[in-house]
Structures are given as C-alpha cells and as structure tokens.
Chain A
Amino acid sequence: MSNLLAILRLELFLSRFSLTAKILVLAPALVCLARFALVWLNQAGQQARASLIGADEFALAQAQNAYGQFVDGVNTGLTILALLLAAAAAYDFSSERDIGSIRHVLIRRAGRASIVLAKLLRLHILGVLSLGLLGLAAWAGSALIWDFGPVVEDGFELISEQEILYEIHLGLLMAVIPLPAVIGFGVLVSVAAQSATQAVTVALGATLAMDIFKALLGERAWYLYATFHPSVLDQSYLREVSRLVRGFSDVLVEDRFFIYNGWIPLVSVVVFVAAALLLVSRRGL
C-alpha cells in the first residue's frame, strides 16, 4: 500500500508536465464554454428575428433559462471527457511501456499491480479535477449569459427551481457513475495493446462503436456501461434532464434504467480492472 501511494505521487508529479493531463483537465470546460458562446450568438440572431415577427412565450422562457443551458453544457463537456478519459487511459500505460520508463518503476519501487492501480487512481483524480472545472465553467458561463430560475409559462410554474436542482443532481450522478468504467476500459486496452498508437486507436474506436451499436441493441444496451454516460449518440439520463429542466413533461424513464445505470458500470469497472491486473501480471514489459 505504501508503494501504491509512492507511485501515485510519482504519477501526479509526471502529470504536472504532461500535455495529455492538461488537455484532459481543461478541454471539457473549454468545449462547454465554446458551446455557450455559439448558443449565445445563435440566440442573439433568433431574438432579433423574434422581435420582428413575434415569438412563442414558452420557447422564449426555455431559451432564457440558464438551467437548460447548464445541463447542455455539462452534457457536452462530459461527452468530451468520456472520450478523453478513454484515450488518456489507453495511452498512459502503453506509452510508458513503449518508452521503457515503466521498467524503472517496476524494478525500483512497485509491483505490476500497484503500477496499474496507481495509474487508475491518477486518472480518477484528473477526472475529478476535470469534472470540477467543467461544473464551475458551466455554472459561471450559463449564469453570465442566462438567468437561473423556474420555468414559467403564462404565470404558471411548469417546474420549480427545487425540482430542477433535484433532476440536475440525479442526472449528473447518473452520468458520472459510468466514468470509472470508461477509465477501466482504457486501462485494460492499454495493458493489452502492443503499442500506444494501437491502444489509443482501439480505445477510441471501441468507444465510438459501442456508441453506435447501443442504439441498435434496445434494452440489451442497458448491460453496456457506455449506454449511461453522455456521448455523441446520447442515451444517458442527463439528456432527459435537459428536457425536464426546460419544462417538458413527456420524459418517460423506467425505474429499471436507474438500477442498471447504478450497477452495470460498477460491475464493468471491476471486470476491466481485474482483467487488466491479470494481463499485466503475465505479459512482458
């Protein structure tokens, strides 16, 4: 255990100088802010048009509500974060094996399992930092441009602020739970691959393939961790939250979805990490 902590400290030391780590932490927040800027420009054009020909009050209320934009911004950032985590996890171990630097760690300081676990922990720490920054950027960005408040149509409150915050908390929790599985999958690929290039290609390719196929699997996709995190072809609960906080009431999500969302990613991460540890104990480094 003391070796694991020593290796984790080493990993964090290396992260200070790693461009990959910087991109992982900063990119989701920056993409989220870029999205806000584009939406804001688009809305400015639409408002000019609406002032000339008139507009639906409900559409206006939706457009000006910061909660909806916040959820969309976070959703976009999480989509990027999931892809980056898969790529960074795949690159991490395999690139150090390509260079040969992992050999020094193995000989001088820690066993194979500790090295893999330290990398896993480091990616979680970077992921948490990235999430924190994304949340901060999304909150600050949406508050700067739009107004937080309940969705009101014709003086009638369609959804209260309290209900909105509850849904956002639930949506974020459901969206974040699969991220350790994304990291675990990347680490497994990293350990199994012959080179860093192969690892990153396979991890990103497989993530996008899961994204495409989950739409074709129906309810069987609930056994796939990738179903539950925001992605390009999004089926996560956060996508529904985006509609809920805008006052749409046609959102139907089965209770079973939440149960699967809760445990399938956790089972996946255990399987991925166990397989990675088994593989790393057997292969040449």
Chain B
Amino acid sequence: MNEANPALRVRGLRKRYGDVPVLHGVDLELSAAAVLGLVGLNGSGKTTTIECILGLQRFQEGEVSVLGRGPADLFRLQGDVVAIFDSPSVPPHLTVRQCLEHARRLCPRPVRDCAEVERMLGIESYTRYRIRQLSLGNRRRVSIAQALLGEPRLILLDEPFNGLDASGVDRVLELIADLNRETGAGFLLSSHQLPYLERVCSHVAILHGGRIAAAGKLHDLLADVGSRVILHSTEPDLALKLLENDARVMVLENHSATHLMLRLRDWRSDELVAHLVQHEIPVCELVQQRASLDNLFRELTAGERK
C-alpha cells in the first residue's frame, strides 16, 4: 500500500437522510501507516462518513475503497479492518472475558489472547464482570480490546475518548502510537477532542458543511495557519481600518469591543506593533497564540472575515 494505492480512499461521497443532505461530496485519503484525524462540528457528518466507509449506510453517490475493497466487501478482508464505534457495541449480558472470547472467534487470524489485551487496556481486574456492570469508560476499553485481538491494517475509531478518564486517554493514545509504529496499522480517528488528536495524528481532515474544508499533514496545515495574535487596543476601529488592506495580516474576528484577532503572514509581532505605533494607534497588549489544531478548526468552522 503506497500513496498511489492508499489504505482508504473516498471520492465525492454524497449522502442524504431522506431529503436532508448530510455529505456533499466528501473526499478523503488515508495512506498506509498514517493516523488521520477526522474532525468536525456536531452533526457535520463524521459518523455518517465512517458508517458509509464501513458499509453500514448506503450512500447516493461517490466511491469508497478500503484496502482495495468496496464497503460491502470489508468482511472479505478477514479482519484487516476493524472499527470502534461511538457507543461501545458490546453485548451487555456477557462478561468481559466472554465478550473478548466472542471477538476472538470473530477474528480470522488472532495474534493476541484475551488476557493479553485485557492487560493492554488495564481491564484485567474486570474479567468476570458483566458488561452492563461496567462504567462507560471501561466498556469503551473492552470495545477497544476487541479490536486488538487480531492484527488489523486499518482501524477506524469514532469518538474513542468518550467516557475515558485521563489515564485511559493516555493509554489509548499510547496504544495507537505503538500499534502504528510497530505494525504499520493505519488509523482513522473521529473525535471532538482536538488536543488528543493533535498528540497522535499525522494527518487531519476537517469536515465542515458536508465537505472536507481542509486536509493534509497536520504539521503542514498548522504551518500554513501561521501565527495568530490578539491585539488589545483602545482604538480597534482605527487598527481595523489600517490593517484591512495589508497583505501581511488577516483580520480573523473582532474578538471583543477592544480586541482583534489577527493572523500574521511573513510579519513578526514586533513589526506589527511598530507599524501600529507609527500610525498613532495605541497598543495596550499583543498576545501571541500558538498555531494549534483547535485554532485551525475554530478558524475554518467559524468562517473568515477577510
């Protein structure tokens, strides 16, 4: 699997629920051994995209290829693709061990035993507990443990951090990084927890308005965003007027009555301050923000003013 033949390719995916369009032509690509974060607002279609990829939902238009197979044929990959869903999809009447034994039987080529994955997820003390007796976080751990019994080449996770405490999140992030490094498994993670995604993702796709608003390597996307600053001035309107037509700066939003959020391009913050002072615009404070996934996401989903 290489760039020309990616682990996952989605082209022009369109999906409607009745008369309500949800996806307006989603394009997505995940190269082998990449960790792709799929982010978007509530109702933006992240789960629907994943369900279409997995063949759980029919879609009206588009092409989906997962490890060279169509969505309806994923089972023919014999466990190369696994998924962990938004709600822990595990039978509540089974014990943790029974649940894992069931998943092991489901796995055509198991490479780990049940006790091993229990240890990996830290649920070995709950072996005899029924799923319905577990907290949401531990149920989520069981559902993740199920996916690790084999050696999948592609793992799709929909909101994997829901219900997990901080140590659980750390453990899952560590597992994702380890599996990605050691086995070369590709990951598609859909989540609202942007700081967590930033820690583990190599690539990001931002789904907004039923389309991919931005996609690429996380590092490149963040570099493209550039530095953002919040300018505090007693004369924000004058500052706005001055900077509006300057190519070295982009006004993102009126943060408040006295604050402007700006993005600098090939311009340092001290140069901006000097420029403003030169035009007799008072500068009370200039706060530099780091280019983060959270900032990038907010920027893309809020819409730019300029």
A residues in contact (CB < 8 Å) with B:
3, 6, 9-10, 13-14, 17-19, 96, 99-101, 103-111, 282, 284-285
Given A103-B54, A103-B83, A284-B56, A108 and B75 contact (CB-CB distance below 8 Å): yes
Closest to A285 in B: B56
B92 beta carbon closer than 8 Å to chain A: yes
- A-B Cβ contacts below 8 A, count: 76
Distance in angstroms from A13 CB to nearest chain B CB is: 6
B21 beta carbon closer than 8 Å to chain A: no
B72, B87, B94, B102 interface centre (most CB from chain A within 10 Å)? B102
Give the complex CA separation of A179 and B42 in angstroms. 47
Which residues does chain A contribute within 8 Å of B75, judged by CB atoms? 3, 106-111
Given A17-B98, A99-B92, A110-B75, A104 and B103 contact (CB-CB distance below 8 Å): yes
Q: Is A284 within 8 A of B58, CB to CB?
A: yes
Distance in angstroms from A223 CB to nearest chain B CB is: 34
Q: Is B56 within 8 A of A104, CB to CB?
A: no
Given A106-B55, A284-B51, A284-B56, A100 and B87 contact (CB-CB distance below 8 Å): yes
Give the complex CA separation of A3 and B76 in angstroms. 9
Q: Is B93 within 8 A of A104, CB to CB?
A: no
Chain A interface, DSSP helix/strand/loop, else mixed: helix
Given A17-B93, A104-B103, A107-B74, A284 and B85 contact (CB-CB distance below 8 Å): no
Instruction: Among A13, A19, A99, point to the contact of B102 (Cβ < 8 A).
Output: A13
Stretch in B104-112, B113-121, B230-238, B252-260 with 4+ CB within 8 Å of A: B104-112
Q: Is A100 within 8 A of B85, CB to CB?
A: yes
Instruction: Among B58, B83, B98, B108, point to the contact of A109 (Cβ < 8 A).
Output: B108
Chain B 47-63: CB-based contact to A (< 8 A → 1; otherwise 0): 00001001111100000
Interface size class, chain B: 20 to 34
A6, A9, A14, A96 interface centre (most CB from chain B within 10 Å)? A14
B157 beta carbon closer than 8 Å to chain A: no
B146 beta carbon closer than 8 Å to chain A: yes
Q: Is B98 within 8 A of A107, CB to CB?
A: no
Distance in angstroms from A284 CB to nearest chain B CB is: 5
Give the complex CA separation of A12 and B196 in angstroms. 40
Closest to B152 in A: A108
Given A108-B75, A284-B56, A18 and B105 contact (CB-CB distance below 8 Å): no
Which residues does chain A contribute within 8 Å of B51, judged by CB atoms? 284
Q: Is A101 within 8 A of B89, CB to CB?
A: yes
Can you pick out 24 interface pairs between chain A and chain B where the beta carbons lie within 8 Å of each other?
A6-B108, A9-B105, A10-B106, A13-B101, A99-B89, A99-B92, A101-B89, A103-B83, A104-B83, A104-B89, A104-B106, A104-B146, A106-B56, A107-B75, A107-B82, A108-B74, A108-B79, A108-B81, A108-B82, A108-B106, A108-B107, A109-B79, A111-B73, A284-B58
Q: Is B57 within 8 A of A284, CB to CB?
A: yes
Which residues does chain A contribute within 8 Å of B43, judged by CB atoms? none
Which residues does chain A contribute within 8 Å of B102, judged by CB atoms? 10, 13-14
Give the complex CA separation of A159 and B178 in angstroms. 79
Q: Is B89 within 8 A of A100, CB to CB?
A: yes
Which residues does chain A contribute within 8 Å of B272, judged by CB atoms? none
